[in-house]
Amino acid sequence: MCGICGFTSNNINNKSSEIIRNMCDVITHRGPDDSGYFIDKNISMGFRRLSIIDLDNGQQPIYNETNNLVLTFNGEIYNYKELKSELENLGHVFYTQSDSEVLVHGYEEWGKDLVLKLRGMFAFAIWNRTDKSLFLARDYFGIKPLYWSNFQNNFIYASEIKSILLYPEFEKKFNYRALDNYLSFQYAVPPETFFENIFCLMPGHTLEYKSGEIKINRYFDPKFDIDNSINLESAVNKIQEVFENSVNAHKISDVEVGCFLSSGIDSSYVSSYFENQKAFTVGFDFGEKYNEISWAENLAKKINLDYHSKIINSEEFWDAVPKVQYYMDQPLADPSCIALYFVAKLASEHVKVVLSGEGADELFGGYTVYNEPRVFKLYHKLFSQRTRSFLAKLVKKIPFRFRGQSFIIRGEHKTENKYIGNAYMFSKEQKQEILKNTDIITDPVDLCKNIYNNIKDYDDETKMQYLDMNMWLAGDILLKADRMSMANSLELRVPFLDIEVFKIARKLKTDLRVNKNNTKYALRLAAQKRLPIETAQKPKLGFPVPTRVWLKDKRYYTIVKEKFESEISKKFFNTDKLLKFLDEHYNNKWDHSRKIWTIYVFLVWYEIYFEEQ
């Protein structure tokens, strides 16, 4: 795992070396073991290395035989040995044993079609010294990040936004459009970022830059292609076979590899392949609901893991918020990213690489919300849209909660008109109440329409999965996984998000993913062959963080209140509305914890990136 950055310019001068080194130094956490640079009159390229494969000879940049192609690369290619053999048979000569070198020779041989041959996680840049062109690529699901900016004949790219901000001529400006989307989704929705004129290269995309022109191409779309001939038994066998193959591929390394372990099926299934190897868990001292350590510890004993755990106390969690938001580059209101920071920190004290369970929910139908279409099917059949809307408006006016209220509200609209992903923080109407600048406000549903229009023939459950793979997975799940592991110089690998695993997942019928019996139905049965039944069938818990409890504590209520009353807060929000949310939650009138946390995190982040000098 590494960090890359670079810039092209018609005015490369003697300051270029200092600039690229500064851009690299700010992401040293991504690669503390080594650095490398390529500088000529057209481009400066930088690289930070976390040594995982070919420890002695894998330094970058890496070149082809004629030195006309220059590569910097962040990630791992798991089929590099097969590709290397193929390229050698075609006459290419290698000078390292690294997976990185496969990319530069592969690009020389296959051009941009190289990406279609790769199995792995990657974000890389290849400079062609002959035609002065730059080629950028990002992996299928967006496991590895890549950002870019283009202004005044300067093209800049980097693994993290903070590198781009150090380019001297770049003018840092706040992007209000990102705030609007963040308030609804809890993350900055790609390709937009919180910085004007900095964009995220989307998952499954390449970018070509030449003579000031930019061409972006999508080479991968995670669409489902259901095969009705695959029955339950066949599905379970196929999942078991491909996942074991994926885990073994993801364990390839010249350094020790460990795994994360929670009480859920995803990381537990991964950990079942780690007998006598290290596993890591964190939890909170707030009872079993917020502490998975006992579950994980019991499993670790049963499958013989070298188990390590840590209890996160309240004070250190809150103290870590600014540090985490700095490493995130952009505000992320998912509190589990802070817990992830601590488990990555724990793991980094023992290993350089870990495997984790991200992606299983999106590929195999794991979120409980995916059951909603089945639950609402009869309700939608009995009542028209007009009647459902009338009932929803009626119950929203009732000043107290009652059983069935949430069902009526959520059952108002069809999936495409209500589901924007796993987190739905502020609606368009709520943003109208809290934001001072109402001109930026949009309906979050509109942002999802293009994705839904791409899959009109899917059933509702599959539509929800496809939307999450295109938005939530890269915008939240994989973003925090990359940033929190890299903040601790730890490589995190995700064997569920393997292209070969996806080829099986995309074929599964809906009821093999989500049905009345369970979520991730076929996956659970496959995992059950290696895990205790109580683990394989355990309901989805996520990574619970006790924010709602803390916000009823006077100490943390006061911390948030001070932020809500600050000058920064007054710049963006109607603070009386924010304080009302906070007081209602503190007095146990309503659970506003997620909305409160969303705004608090933004204010912490803004102070770091726009107020501190």
- Residues annotated as catalytic (active site), given as ranges: 2
List of residues 6+ apart from 431 with CB closer than 8 A: 180, 183, 184, 438, 441
Alpha carbons 310 and 345: distance in angstroms, whole number: 10
Q: What is the 3-state secondary structure (H, E, C) of 16-79?
A: HHHHHHHHHHCCHHHCECEEEEEECCCEEEEEEECCCCCCCCCCCCEECCCCCEEEEEEEEECC
Q: In terms of Cα–Cα distance, which of 143, 135, 78, 147 is closest to 110?
A: 135
DSSP string, 71-137: EEEEEEETTHHHHHHHHHHTT---S--SSHHHHHHHHHHHGGGGGGG--EEEEEEEEETTTTEEEEE
Residue 119 CA from chain centroid, whole number: 18
Q: Do 382 and 285 meet the contact criterion of CB atoms below 8 Å apart?
A: no
Bridge partners, 48 (sequence order): 3, 35
Q: How far is CA 120 from CA 358, 464, 469, in A?
A: 14, 25, 17
Burial of 83 (0-12, 13-18, 19+ CB in 10 A): buried
Whether the CB-CB separation of 99 and 76 falls below 8 Å is answered with yes
78 contacts 249 by C-beta, under 8 angstroms: yes
Distance, CA of 285 to CA of 291 (rounded, Å):
7
Contact 258, 351 (CB under 8 A): yes
Cis previous bond, 61, omega within 30:
yes
Closest CA to 263 of 240, 294, 285: 294
From 168, 163, 124, select the one nearest 28 (Cα to Cα). 163
Residue 62 φ/ψ, nearest 5 degrees: -120, 145
Q: How far is CA 222 from the centre of its chain?
A: 15
Beta bridge partners of 322: none
What is the chain's length?
613
Long-range contacts, stretch 111-119, CB < 8 angstroms, 24+ apart:
112/137, 112/206, 112/208, 112/217, 112/219, 115/206, 115/219, 115/220, 116/219, 117/79, 117/83, 118/77, 118/79, 118/83, 119/77, 119/78, 119/79, 119/249, 119/498, 119/499, 119/500
